[in-house]
Chains A and B, each alone.
Chain A
Amino acid sequence: MKTVITSKGDSFDSPLDPRFGRCAWFCLYDEQTGEAEFMKNDSVDVAGGAGTRTAEKMIEWNVKKVISGDYGPKAKDLLDRFNVQLVIMKNEDKTVGEIVGKLKERSGD
């Protein structure tokens, strides 16, 4: 199963980016293979519709779970429609590496 964590940078040391649609990077983590890949978000600076653009990407990549700080209503509607699980992280100090570590622990249980 594929999970996306919104990230402020392109490494595991980067903190979670709390904005879904306008996050700087995506960490695409595959629970089956345990591999993680960082991808730049090209919707950061669009004038409007960043949320739906980013949600579109999640569905195209067949992502089943997104971990971020907040989601706008339009992005949420679209992701809900395709049964993508939305996780809201209130603790913004967590790094992407720590979040991936937690996901690994859980899948190991």
Chain B
Amino acid sequence: MSYKIAIASGKGGTGKTTVAVNLYNVIAKYHEQDVLLVDCDVEEPNDLLFFSGAKRLDGEVVSHRVPELDLDRCTFCRKCSEYCEFNAITVIPPVKFAAVNPDLCHSCGACLYACKDHALVEKRVGIGELTRYDIGLGAGLVEGKMNVGLALQTPVIRYIKDKTRDFNGIALYDAPPGTSCSVVSTVADSDYVILVTEPTPFGLHDLRLAAGIAREMGKPFGVVVNKTGIGNNDLYEYLEQEGIALLAGIPFKKEYAEKYAGGALLSDAYGEYEAFFKTIANNILKSKGL
């Protein structure tokens, strides 16, 4: 059976990756189901850093279709440019200039529909990579990485999710920070969402936004409060008022931060840390009979 859990946060630096890699570790160790980690933070994937013995298995280029202009056929009518919502095509009729800007293209195909002169042909352009890693325990890591300088997170995320869709077991999707399209596409088609936050005003502010997304998308979700002991009580009051499930609270400790910075898996390093993740895994999976 397949069960997909997205790990998102709103605010960056709350501990999405920490939760994703440690939850993976604990599920791989203590649960019967196979578990797969999918790093969807395609601008800066860093799950790999926590698995020192990781071996690269294989990779694929992620590409999308971008129109190419045949200037011999182009009549500089500007139809393609008018159709393009993203201003990716420049046409300047008086100087007979036309060019496609692949960085701005979202691969929607509207320009091809607009062009009656057959001056546009699509070609594939690489926008990122998918890499599979054997990380010892579990079914491994699938990492998505977008090429530097692009703003095409969603097509890369959609591709890596598509490639892992049929995984038979528990798939963990580590989402990018924020609450924009890239997070929505990571959360889409997940069965459950873990929202990671911290008990600070900023953490609460962004949790409200992230919870709003999960609700609007009709996803069941629960909250992991990381770095407890800092900030104030507003977050807990919010969770109570809204009836949002608190999956676990992980205290802020300098030694955790030090170990984390050294690339250690905290659930391997500390028994009590492993216990937090056993609780999180049980809270989510037990109710599903997993």
Contact = CB atoms under 8 A, between A and B. Distances in A.
Chain A partners chain B? yes
Given A59-B95, A59-B97, A82-B95, A52 B86 contact: no
B154 to A, nearest CB: 14
Given A48-B104, A74-B101, A56 B86 contact: no
Interface residues of A, number: 16
Interface string B201-226: 00000000000000000000000000
Interface string B68-106: 000000000000000001111011111101000101100
B74 to A, nearest CB: 15
A49 interface: yes
B85 A56 contact: no
A48 B86 contact: yes
Interface residues of B, number: 15
A48 B87 contact: yes
B90 A56 contact: yes
Nearest to A55: B90
A19 to B, nearest CB: 16
A78 interface: yes
Interface string A32-48: 00000000000100111
Contacts of A49: 86-88, 101, 104
Interface of B: 85-88, 90-95, 97, 101, 103-104, 151
12 contacts: A46-B87, A47-B85, A48-B87, A52-B87, A52-B101, A52-B104, A56-B92, A59-B95, A59-B97, A62-B94, A74-B101, A74-B103
Interface of A: 43, 46-50, 52-53, 55-56, 59-60, 62, 74, 78, 82
Q: List the 9 shortest-distance A-B pairs measured between CB atoms, nearest first.
A: A49-B87, A59-B92, A49-B104, A52-B90, A53-B87, A48-B86, A56-B92, A48-B104, A56-B90
